[in-house]
């Protein structure tokens, strides 16, 4: 397996870090409130799978996102596992203060690379977001890790193409201000592998010392292909959402975030070291439909892992005996060949 002249063979043994965002990015758009104790139970179960990070909740206004109105209760009552970083999204300084009171390991903040999406998503101009996020970095610096998620980094559903230099310049700014991590988000699933390669080439070097994460959506089926392109460009951190939970209010009809168990399954099959126990993760994903009241788009949960074995068909032994008996003559041609 160790032919390192082949690009993907270089992935074998590579450490890849997974941040599960289902409990925040997924639940925030669910119409039904998930009871606090169920959220805590799910975070605790996720904590035991080996995930590097869990985005637990958002310290936002209960009016804005009623689904996450129990942020304090969840954050304070979960078991904190050694080695897992517990993240919360915060929309403003008050949110950051609430998150720090709950001793989050990492604060995540969002702004868009495109002006229109930033206004539509967080109701601020980019200049306002940049100032506010900078203020929060200064206030929270040292008390927690601080990640900036740059939305629409691969395209804006309203404006269209987003210039790479806008994204890079934003990242440079927050790196200078003291952010400890930057996530490039493909908010509505517009990215393709060529674009991922182009934007991410040299980024690990440019933002050395920062945690650099990619956040893909599977809107047009390219989620795992984009992750592959990210790996190829040297990026080792990925957001993903259990069951593929999540979506985007600005892209109705679209499927959600890249599915955590599908991503971990692919990475494991390619020999990457995610640290995640896939069976334990699948057990978490299997509980999702009951938690949220509907099916989820994850595929490995439905199909089983690649190494799943099926029994031979009921007429197999008879078929074989008949085949051997007529050896040399042609088939009866009655089988429905699948390719």
Closer to a second copy by Cβ: residue 25 or 78:
25
How far apart are alpha carbons 123 and 120 in whole angstroms? 6
- Provide the pairing of β-strand 17-20 with 85-89: unpaired
Closer to a second copy by Cβ: residue 144 or 229:
229
Report in angstroms how near the CB of residue 288 gets to a second copy at its nearest. Answer: 16
The two structure tokens encoding residue 175: 């790196």
The two structure tokens encoding residue 60: 């936002």
Burial grade of 138 (CB within 10 A; 0-12, 13-18, 19 or more): exposed
How far apart are alpha carbons 88 and 86 in whole angstroms? 7
Report in angstroms how near the CB of residue 162 gets to a second copy at its nearest. Answer: 12
Report in angstroms how near the CB of residue 79 gets to a second copy at its nearest. Answer: 25
Closer to a second copy by Cβ: residue 64 or 163:
64
248 belongs to the catalytic site: yes
Closer to a second copy by Cβ: residue 81 or 158:
158
Using CA atoms of 165, 176, 82, 90 in order, give the dihedral in degrees to the nearest 10.
-70
Which one of 156, 248, 259, 284 is the catalytic residue?
Answer: 248
| DSSP track, 31-62 | SSPPPHHHHHHHHHHHHTTT-SEEEEEE---T
Report in angstroms how near the CB of residue 324 gets to a second copy at its nearest. Answer: 7
Indicate which residues carry an active-site annotation: 248
């Amino acid at each position: 397996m160790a032919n390192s002249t082949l690009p993907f063979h270089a992935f074998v043994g590579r450490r890849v870090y997974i941040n599960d965002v289902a409990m925040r990015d997924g639940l925030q758009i669910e119409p039904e409130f998930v009871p606090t104790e169920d959220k805590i139970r799910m975070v605790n179960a996720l904590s035991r799978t080996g995930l590097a990070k869990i985005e637990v909740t958002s310290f936002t206004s209960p009016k804005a996102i009623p689904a996450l109105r129990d942020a304090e209760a969840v954050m304070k009552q979960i078991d904190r596992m050694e080695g897992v970083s517990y993240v919360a999204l915060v929309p403003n300084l008050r949110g950051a203060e609430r998150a720090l009171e709950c001793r989050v390991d990492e604060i995540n903040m969002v702004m868009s690379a495109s002006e229109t999406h930033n206004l539509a998503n967080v109701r601020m101009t980019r200049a306002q977001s940049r100032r506010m996020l900078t203020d929060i970095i200064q206030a929270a610096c040292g008390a927690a890790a601080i990640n900036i998620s740059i939305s629409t980094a691969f395209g804006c559903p309203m404006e269209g193409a987003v210039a790479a230099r806008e994204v890079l310049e934003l990242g440079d700014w927050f790196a200078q201000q003291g952010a400890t991590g930057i996530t490039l988000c493909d908010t509505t699933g517009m990215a393709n592998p060529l674009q991922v390669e182009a934007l991410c080439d040299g980024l690990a070097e440019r933002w050395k010392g920062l945690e650099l994460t990619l956040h893909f959506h599977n809107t047009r089926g390219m989620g795992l292909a984009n992750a592959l392109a990210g790996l190829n460009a040297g990026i080792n951190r990925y957001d993903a959402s259990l069951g593929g939970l999540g979506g985007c209010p600005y892209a109705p009809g679209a499927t959600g975030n890249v599915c955590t168990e599908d991503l971990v399954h692919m990475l494991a099959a390619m020999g990457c070291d995610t640290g995640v126990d896939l069976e334990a993760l699948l057990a978490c994903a299997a509980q999702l439909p009951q938690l949220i009241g509907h099916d989820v788009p994850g595929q490995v949960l439905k199909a089983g892992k690649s190494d799943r074995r099926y029994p031979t068909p009921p007429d197999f032994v008879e078929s074989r005996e008949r085949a051997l008996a007529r050896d040399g003559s042609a088939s009866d041609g009655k089988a429905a060949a699948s390719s």
